[in-house]
Amino acid sequence: QNRRSMLRDLAKLVKEQGLDGVTADMVERLKAATTLSKRKAMDFDTDCTDIRPVDESDQDAVSLIKEDLFEFLDELVEMNVAELTRLHGEINRKCIRCTEGIRRLDQELDDRTRWDNAESGVETRDVLENGVRRVDMERMMGREVTKVDVDASLKIPDADRMRIVGGHDVEQSRLSGRQEYKGQLPSSCYV
């Protein structure tokens, strides 16, 4: 069980038994029945079959988690149903915000990985390191261009590459940080 389900179950129990609030005996029984578990994977859309018991070999971590949980449970003594319901809603909202934050971070990491695969750091989003416009190279290849594609194109001899690049001196442009030209295409490049 997690804290949200513990709160929900305690509120239900208090209501069913017609008590004014959570008793110390209820909290002690809940502590005794508490077991720690974790997911096999960090996928929030997995079902309960993906949950397994925590390896209790790391006693320091396990005792810290249990200590924190038991302090939380001790604070519930004397809380009535309305207070338990309010606390449940508060924890639920925090969990939803945390889950959304993790999903956004995961998406940002995916986006950064895609850009790292596509860029070398000396190009803009429009012009690649080899001097070819990204749009043109993607049109020629029929797919999204990666850093590996750009590196492979740099291995093409200068004369052949200049047909594609349009006379840019890619190596010199890379060193100077601005467009440099070879001047005139070699006669072998003219069709």
Whether residue 123 lies inside any domain: the answer is no
Predicted confidence at residue 103, as pLDDT, reads 94
Measured CA to CA, the distance from residue 37 to residue 61 in angstroms comes to 13
Domain membership of residue 154 as a residue range: 134-189
Q: What distances in angstroms separate CA 161 from CA 43, 122, 143, 186, 188, one per listed residue? A: 46, 18, 20, 12, 12
Whether residues 47 and 79 share a domain: the answer is yes
Whether residues 158 and 108 share a domain: the answer is no
Predicted confidence at residue 188, as pLDDT, reads 45
**Side-chain half-sphere of 161: how many Cα atoms within 13 Å?**
19
133 - beta bridge partners? 127
Whether residues 18 and 81 share a domain: the answer is yes
Q: What distances in angstroms separate CA 94 from CA 35, 60, 80, 90, 130, one per listed residue? A: 23, 26, 21, 6, 48
Measured CA to CA, the distance from residue 183 to residue 100 in angstroms comes to 54
Whether residues 113 and 172 share a domain: the answer is no
Whether residue 85 lies inside any domain: the answer is yes
Predicted confidence at residue 153, as pLDDT, reads 81
Whether residues 113 and 140 share a domain: the answer is no
Per-10-residue mean pLDDT, the chain, length 191 = 83 90 90 73 52 64 84 90 92 92 91 68 66 78 82 78 63 69 48 38
Predicted confidence at residue 105, as pLDDT, reads 92
Q: In the numeric block, which tokens belong to residue 64?
A: 């810290």
Domain count, the chain: 2
